[in-house]
Copies of this chain bind each other. A is one copy, B any other.
Amino acid sequence: MTMAPTAVDVPSGLPAAISTPAPGDPRLSRLSLNQKTVDRWGVREVVHGCLRAGIPAVGLWREPVAAFGTARTARLVRDAGLRVSSYCRAGFLTGHDSTAALDDNRRAIDEAAEIGAACLVMVLGGLPEGSRDLAGARARAAEALALLVPHAQERGVRLALEPLHPMFCADRAVLSTLGQALDLAERFPVETVGVVLDAYHIWWDPQVDAQIRRAGPRIALFQACDWVLPLPADALLGRGMVGDGHIDVRALREQADAAGYAGDIEVEVFNADVWAADGDATVATLLRRHVQHVV
């Protein structure tokens, strides 16, 4: 069950290695680099890395944006001509007292507006410590979300609900399937609340085809990475480069397109080996994998 190791390229012995697509290659037109894939790169490095590689969009995270400055980030990406496919991440709304979380989410909405992000990714949060009350946590998150929607509308920011793989249900997100995410999103206007299709989180779902069709204009973002075995000691860091594992990313991307999605395809890989690698080498692998396995 061993797969090719992550971030290593086509093994020798296989037919002609794929060459790295050059800047301007039309197959890169919807590609986005999520900053987390090159975890050691700050805002400036990731923007310059995208420019060197010809990647037209970037997914940014709050912590590095705060370190670089929100206004400065906004200016840099605008001057670079990059789209900001997503701003990661807000949410964590399942606690019993959501006052602080709501304040923080409102700030995240303001920041997303300032940097011109296509969406703000929302991870709803897990169960409070010691709790077994899933229904309660889900209800609290839905109530808190309803309180954020007017602020998002006012700022013109789209909230993108991200169902996480069910193995994160207890500690990170009581939102586990695309169907469940759509049930929640559909309570709100489509332009303000959408969903994230992250291949890693949804690929196993026997209902995924039907739910992607249902999602249609609710699809705010498509994220790509792969499911590699074995799972690592830290389940958060188990994602592989597209092509190294068991997910048919192209099939999911085609389904999203068939449902009307024409936005960016953002590569987000949480993986200690990838993080340890040279950023430009990771980006080059990612470009090749994109043409081999995604578009």
Q: What residues of chain A have their CB less than 8 Å away from a CB belonging to chain B?
A: 1-3, 126-127, 129-134, 138, 165-167, 169-171, 176-177, 179-180, 183, 203-207, 227, 229-233, 235, 245-248, 251
Contact among B133, B166, B248 for A204, CB-based, below 8 A: B166
Residues of chain B lying within 8 A (CB to CB) of residue A2: 129
A1 contact set on B, CB distance < 8 A? 126, 129, 170-171
Chain B residue numbers with a CB within 8 Å of A126 are: 1
Contact A132-B246, Cβ < 8 Å, known A176-B204, A179-B206, A206-B179: yes
Q: In the bound complex, how far is the Cα of B170 from the Cα of A138, in angstroms?
A: 28
A204-B247 CB under 8 A given contacts A3-B130, A235-B231: no
Measured between C-beta atoms, what is the minimum distance from A214 to chain B in Å? 15
Asked, given contacts A165-B166, A167-B167, whether A127 binds B246 with beta carbons under 8 Å apart, the answer is yes
Bound form: Cα–Cα A3–B131 in Å:
10
Instruction: Kindly state the separation between the CA atoms of A246 and B167 in the bound complex, as whole angstroms.
Output: 12
Given that A132-B248, A235-B231, A248-B132 are known contacts, is A180 also in contact with B206, CB under 8 Å in the complex? yes
Q: How far is the CA of A170 from the CA of B170 in the complex (A)?
A: 21
Q: Give bound CA distance, A203 to B205, whole Å.
A: 15
Q: Which of B170, B177, B180, B183 contacts A227 (CB 8 A)?
A: B170
Tell me how many chains of this kind the complex includes: 2
CA distance A176 to B179 in the complex (A): 15
Nearest opposing residue in chain B for A173, CB measure: B204
A133 CA / B247 CA spacing, docked (Å): 8
Q: Using Cβ atoms and an 8 Å threshold, which residues of chain B touch A245?
A: 170
B170 touching A246 by the CB < 8 A rule? yes
Asked if A206 contacts B176 (CB within 8 A), the reply is yes
Which B residues are in CB contact (< 8 Å) with A180?
206
Closest-by-CB residue of B relative to A170 is B246
List the 8 closest A-B pairs by CB distance, nearest first: A169-B204, A132-B248, A233-B233, A167-B167, A180-B206, A166-B204, A170-B246, A166-B166
| A247 smallest CB distance to B (angstroms) | 6
Could you tell me the distance in whole angstroms from the C-beta of A265 to the nearest C-beta in chain B?
Answer: 17
Q: List 6 A-B contacts (CB under 8 A).
A: A3-B130, A132-B251, A138-B206, A169-B204, A177-B205, A179-B206
User: In the docked arrangement, what's the CA distance between A286 and B220, Å?
Assistant: 47
Which residues of chain B are within 8 angstroms of A167 by Cβ–Cβ distance?
A: 165-167, 231, 235
List of B residues within 8 angstroms of A131 by Cβ: 246
What CA separation (Å) do A76 and B245 show in the bound complex? 46
- For the complex formed, measure the closest distance between the CB of A96 and the CB atoms of chain B, giving whole angstroms: 15
- Residues from chain B with a CB closer than 8 A to the CB of A130 are 3
**Which residues on the B side are within 8 Å of A246 (C-beta)?**
127, 131-132, 170
Report chain B residues within 8 Å CB of A204: 134, 166, 169-170, 176
Give the residue of B171, B205, B227 whose beta carbon is less than 8 angstroms from that of A176: B205
